[in-house]
Amino acid sequence: MKKHNFYAGPSILPQFTINNTAKAVIDFAGTGLSIMEVSHRSKEFVAVMDQAIALFKELLEIPEGYSVIFLGGGASTQFAMVPYNLMNKKAAYLNTGTWAKKAIKEAKLFGEVDVVGSSESANYNFYPKDYTVPADADYFHITTNNTIYGTQIRKDLDCKVPLVADMSSDIFSRPVDISKYALIYGGAQKNLAPAGVTFVIVKNDMLGKVDRTIPTMFNYQTHIEKESMFNTPPVLPVFAALQTLIWLKDNGGIVAMEKKNIEKANLLYDEIDRNKLFVGTVAHEDRSLMNICFVMTEEYKDLEADFMKFATEKGMVGIKGHRSVGGFRASTYNALPKESVVALVDAMKEFEKMKI
What is the DSSP secondary-structure string of 131-146?
Answer: ----TT-S-EEEESEE
Both 157 and 281 in a single domain? no
Mean pLDDT, to the nearest integer, of 157-186?
98
Q: Does this model's pTM top 0.95?
A: yes
Distance CA(197)–CA(214), nearest Å, equals 22
**End residue of a domain, out of 250, 282, 316:** 250
98: left (phi over 0), alpha (psi -120 to 50) or beta: alpha
Q: For the chain, what is the domain count?
A: 2
What pLDDT is attached to residue 83? 98
Q: Is the pLDDT score of 165 beyond 90?
A: yes
**End residue of a domain, out of 232, 250, 268:** 250
Q: Is the pLDDT score of 1 beyond 90?
A: no
What pLDDT is attached to residue 54? 98
Per-residue pLDDT band at 325 (split at 50, 70, 90): confident
Per-residue pLDDT band at 323 (split at 50, 70, 90): confident
What pLDDT is attached to residue 190? 97
Provide the CATH number for the domain around residue 133.
Answer: 3.40.640.10
Both 237 and 88 in a single domain? yes
Mean pLDDT, to the nearest integer, of 318-347?
96
Both 41 and 90 in a single domain? yes
Q: Which residues sit opposite 279 in a β-bridge?
A: 295
Both 54 and 38 in a single domain? yes
Q: Which residues sit opposite 200 in a β-bridge?
A: 69, 185
Both 244 and 276 in a single domain? no
**pLDDT digits over 102-159, tens only?**
999 999 999 999 999 999 999 999 999 999 999 999 999 999 999 999 999 999 999 9
Mean pLDDT, to the nearest integer, of 171-178?
98
Residue among 138, 170, 190, 264 flagged as catalytic: 190
Both 195 and 257 in a single domain? no
**End residue of a domain, out of 250, 280, 300:** 250
Q: What does each C-alpha distance from 49 to 121, 226, 334 come to in angstroms?
A: 43, 12, 22
Note down the domain range covering 307: 4-11+253-355
Residue among 99, 170, 203, 264 flagged as catalytic: 99
Residue among 3, 89, 114, 166 flagged as catalytic: 166
What pLDDT is attached to residue 71? 98
- Helices 253-274 and 235-250, axial angle in degrees (round to 10): 90
Provide the CATH number for the domain around residue 323.
Answer: 3.90.1150.10
190 counts as catalytic: yes
Both 100 and 232 in a single domain? yes
247 counts as catalytic: no
Helix, strand or coil for residue 320? strand
270 counts as catalytic: no
Find, among 89, 92, 48, the residue nearest to 245 by Cα. 48
Distance CA(134)–CA(140), nearest Å, equals 9
**pLDDT digits over 235-250, tens only?**
999 999 999 999 999 9
Both 260 and 237 in a single domain? no
Both 243 and 280 in a single domain? no
For residues 257 and 172, is the Cβ–Cβ distance under 8 A? Answer: yes
Both 49 and 61 in a single domain? yes
Both 172 and 275 in a single domain? no
| Angle of CA points 65, 96, 11, to nearest 5° | 75
For residues 89 and 138, is the Cβ–Cβ distance under 8 A? Answer: yes
Mean pLDDT, to the nearest integer, of 27-37?
98
For residues 189 and 9, is the Cβ–Cβ distance under 8 A? Answer: yes
Both 73 and 22 in a single domain? yes
